[in-house]
Structure 1
Amino acid sequence: MPQLALYTFGVLKSPLVDPAPLTREFYDIGEAVYREFSRHPGYLARAEAAENGDRGALFGTDWGAWGEFAAPAWYGKGRTVETTALATTLSLWTDLRPAFDAVYTGLHRGALNRRYDWFERTGRPNYVFWWVPDGVTPTWQDGVSRLEHLHDHGSAPHAFTFHHSFAPDGSSVKSPTG
């Protein structure tokens, strides 16, 4: 059965290594959100670095089957540990409803309410979904490509959102947002 890939991307107001309270708060809540997601029904896996590196060490890190780390072409901030100012995830889910429930409840819901404290408003989509065959691990480059496609062409079976969703066969489905 196909699995649902979710890629998220946001540009932070300050680098991940910034010692300011808001940056520390964002980083700390992120770890708690990951733990909560990992226990959520419908959650399958997420991209994790093969080794725990420094905060902000995304580029050049070994991500195993998730591939080489990539960011959208429009990301213009740093790519070093000292300058990286982005937050991104790549995960697998069983279906749209469990992903929706995880994103819009619990700790993540609280974090969404504070997103403008931490993230710049870019005018670009900050997440994208697509279906992958069972047993296939999506890559960071897949996520970037799908996000850019969503921005350029809107929601389609190739790259879609909660608000305009598609089934694995490409047919439009009722949005979990109601």
Structure 2
Amino acid sequence: MSQLALYTFGVLKSPLADPAPLTRELHESGEAIYPEISKHPGYLAHAEAADGERGTHFDLDWGAWGEFAVPAWYGKGRTAETTALATTLSLWTDLRSAFDAIYTGLHRKALNRRYDWFERTGHPSHVFWWVSDGVIPTWQDGVSRLEHLHDHGSTPHAFTFQKPCAPWPLT
């Protein structure tokens, strides 16, 4: 069997530490969205810092999800004051489950506001790929797949909702 890995990456218009109302709204929506998504049928897991640590993405221990990484084209900060990104790494049973979770409920409402919070970079914002049962994808896997998608379009190696690929026998 296989599982579906999903990596999302977006560059924020302002740093996460920005006290402006738009940044607070983004934080508040995220705090409500994650618990809702984790209860959705087909959701398996998502990258969380070990021991519930708080801090910048770059400084946290992500355990089995590996060292935190970002695409080469991310050019904003890497400190608590300057980091301007939102990213996720998750596992799903199938594409339909991920689609339903992302395009319904609170996450759908947040997607409708994405241009308030995120820059339009010309790069893909998400990528899927299949992994064998029991495999935990790493942040670097997500970055590699997103960069591959940008350079080569949808392939079985890296694909999107718009051009999905069925699972193939994994070894």
SS at match of 1:166: coil
Partner Cα separation in structure 2 for residue 151 and residue 32 of structure 1: 30
CA deviations on 1:129-163 (whole Å, 9 max, x unpaired) are 00000000000000000000000000000000011
Asked whether the 8 Å contact 1:4–1:131 carries over to 2, the reply is yes
Identity of aligned residues (%): 79
SS at match of 1:5: strand
Asked whether the 8 Å contact 1:60–1:68 carries over to 2, the reply is no
Q: What's the CA shift for 1:169?
A: 1.2
| 2:54 partner amino acid | G
Moved over 2 A (4+): none
Residue 19 of structure 1 corresponds to 19
Contiguous gaps of at least 5 residues in structure 1: 171-178
Partner Cα separation in structure 2 for residue 68 and residue 133 of structure 1: 21
Partner Cα separation in structure 2 for residue 142 and residue 120 of structure 1: 23
Residue 86 of structure 1 corresponds to 85
Q: What's the CA shift for 1:52?
A: 2.2
Within-5 A mapping of 1:38-117: 38-50=38-50, 51-54=52-55, 57-117=56-116
Residue 8 of structure 2 corresponds to 8
| 2:69 partner amino acid | A
Contiguous gaps of at least 5 residues in structure 2: none
| 2:16 partner amino acid | L
Partner Cα separation in structure 2 for residue 138 and residue 13 of structure 1: 28
CA deviations on 1:35-64 (whole Å, 9 max, x unpaired) are 10010000000000113213xx10021000
| 2:110 partner amino acid | A
Partner Cα separation in structure 1 for residue 84 and residue 159 of structure 2: 25
SS at match of 1:18: coil
SS at match of 2:71: coil
How many corresponding residue pairs? 168
| 2:144 partner amino acid | S
SS at match of 1:4: strand
Partner Cα separation in structure 2 for residue 24 and residue 64 of structure 1: 28
CA deviations on 1:82-122 (whole Å, 9 max, x unpaired) are 10000000000000000000010000000000000000000
Partner Cα separation in structure 1 for residue 142 and residue 23 of structure 2: 25
Asked whether the 8 Å contact 1:43–1:92 carries over to 2, the reply is yes
Partner Cα separation in structure 2 for residue 18 and residue 158 of structure 1: 36
TM-score when normalising by structure 1: 0.93
